Copies of this chain bind each other. A is one copy, B any other.
């Protein structure tokens, strides 16, 4: 933590916004006007569709500042939004970042948050074009809107999966969920024994997947390079089973997936067993992986086998087929979504 503490009140609202945003350059020719007027201005060419997504992230609900550093939080807040843009097969271009902050936070703390926002803007090549800053009575509130562009004929919706399409996921699943369990465990140990040394080294991969996830920019670039378009796509924020059911219900289809094809890293598998959890359940229902789940017709599917660690996990079936998970032993189970859901 920084030792210096500047009271937010010393800058005032306009001073604070200027202070926090003046280091953000506008990189895109489509970013006409950034922070500093009543509204930001973006402008795309005629052939492009504009894609807009927004997320509200609340302290105590979506993040815990006891173990989430503000810089990581800033980074992750941008990532979860650009992930939604990628899930449309679009390219993120701009974001707005609004924050509500209590007087518990110092300017230095907010600077750390915006350092993370800035790093994510750089890594995902997006411009910060606006936002709002206000006092909150309690807790840190983050609202981000991301805007992207895509050729109209390349858009990937949720409701367009077809029977016979193959189902794919990027990366690996369950790690972010297990990272959260480990952080919660260490938090409890620390709260009960404040002097104890927190041990996270051996679970570094899992913790990083929770605190500093990445969105699937390279996968979208690969689709572009191979000139293929998923027949449907969604990002895995609430867990594989929940996202599968979104695609299936909205497309009016069923699916059949294979347990042994679900990508789980060794670290994830070992940590699940250590915590007396079923690794497959963690991968199916864990959430916050920010990998992509997509469907592709069999012709296009040939082109991406084994690229970027993309895995085929099953196939789209007729609606009355239901949602089947086939175990390694060949047993078939109907599954339903048990994803992470902040309202239940």
Contact = CB atoms under 8 A, between A and B. Distances in A.
Interface residues of A, number: 74
A293 to B, nearest CB: 11
Contacts of A87: 38-39
A93 to B, nearest CB: 11
Interface string A4-18: 000011011110100
B138 A84 contact: no
A38 B343 contact: no
Interface in A165-198: none
Interface in A125-150: 129-139, 141, 143, 145-148
A61 B135 contact: yes
B137 A61 contact: yes
- Which among A33, A84, A132, A138 has the greatest number of chain B C-beta atoms within 10 A? A132
Nearest to A129: B52
A14 B55 CA distance: 14
Nearest to A13: B343
Given A41-B50, A45-B46, A52-B42, A98 B143 contact: yes
B137 A9 contact: no
Given A8-B343, A84-B39, A344-B12, A56 B145 contact: no
A40 interface: yes
A106 interface: no
A96 interface: yes
A325 interface: no
Nearest to A10: B344
25 contacts: A36-B159, A38-B53, A38-B85, A38-B233, A38-B234, A39-B53, A39-B85, A39-B88, A41-B50, A41-B51, A42-B51, A43-B49, A43-B50, A44-B44, A44-B50, A54-B132, A54-B145, A55-B132, A56-B134, A58-B100, A58-B137, A60-B137, A61-B134, A134-B342, A134-B343
3 cross-chain pairs, A with B, having the tightest CB-CB distances, nearest first: A39-B53, A143-B143, A46-B46
